[in-house]
């Protein structure tokens, strides 16, 4: 293995825009397994790829458990067919869940807009002078 094939924790943190603490957290969760060179962590291209998967999975809303399950399928020696299929299924499930959330958000926005219109009407009506005030009364 040449030096160019390895990464330090600082290399990964810089490249992915995360903290070294986040990388160590993923290690603690068993998602990354760097080698050691004395006190230094040495990350292989496999760790680099796994970290990219972890971060993408987090961005799209997968739990660490789901990410771990999908990463474990990488080693099945089936050309990643099972991993790709399982990932596709999880992605479709996530899309469906997000579409439901979007529908809920759209409904909530509509209800709030209607409520704001009602409140604006009430506020505007309160601001108009009352035609039956004492000043306009005739003797």
Contact 31, 64 (CB under 8 A): yes
Mean pLDDT of 69-91: 94
pLDDT of residue 7: 95
Split at pLDDT 50, 70, 90, the class of 130 is: low
| Whole-angstrom distance, CA of residue 136 vs CA of residue 133 | 6
CA nearest neighbour of 47 among 90, 16, 79, 21: 16
pLDDT at 53 over 80: yes
From residue 130, how far is each of 62, 111, 118, 119 by CA, in Å? Answer: 59, 30, 20, 19
CA nearest neighbour of 43 among 13, 66, 72, 17: 13
Q: Which residues contact 63 (CB under 8 A, 6 or more apart)?
A: none
pLDDT at 99 over 90: yes
pLDDT of residue 1: 44
Work out the percent of the chain whose per-residue pLDDT is above 90. 81
SS3 (DSSP) at 59: helix
Mean pLDDT of 72-87: 93
β-sheet bridge partners, residue 7: 43
Q: Domains for the chain: give ranges and CATH numbers.
A: 3-126 (1.10.1660.10)
| pTM score of the predicted model | 0.73
Place of tokens 């009602």: 118
Of the candidate ranges 66-75, 95-104, 122-131, the one whose mean pLDDT is the lowest: 122-131
- Residue 128 tokens read as 């108009």
């Amino acid at each position: 293995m040449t030096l160019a094939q390895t990464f330090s924790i600082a290399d990964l943190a810089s490249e992915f825009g995360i903290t070294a603490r986040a990388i160590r957290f993923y290690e603690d969760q068993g998602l990354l397994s760097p080698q050691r060179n004395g006190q230094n962590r040495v990350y292989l291209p496999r760790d680099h790829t796994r970290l990219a998967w972890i971060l993408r999975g987090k961005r799209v809303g997968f739990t660490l458990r789901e990410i771990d399950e999908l990463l474990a399928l990488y080693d099945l020696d089936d050309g990643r067919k099972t991993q790709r299929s399982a990932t596709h299924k999880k992605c479709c499930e996530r899309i469906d869940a997000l579409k439901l959330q979007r529908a809920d958000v759209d409904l909530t926005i509509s209800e709030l807009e209607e409520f704001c219109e009602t409140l604006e009407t009430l506020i505007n009506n309160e601001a108009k002078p009352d035609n039956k005030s004492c000043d306009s009364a005739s003797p």
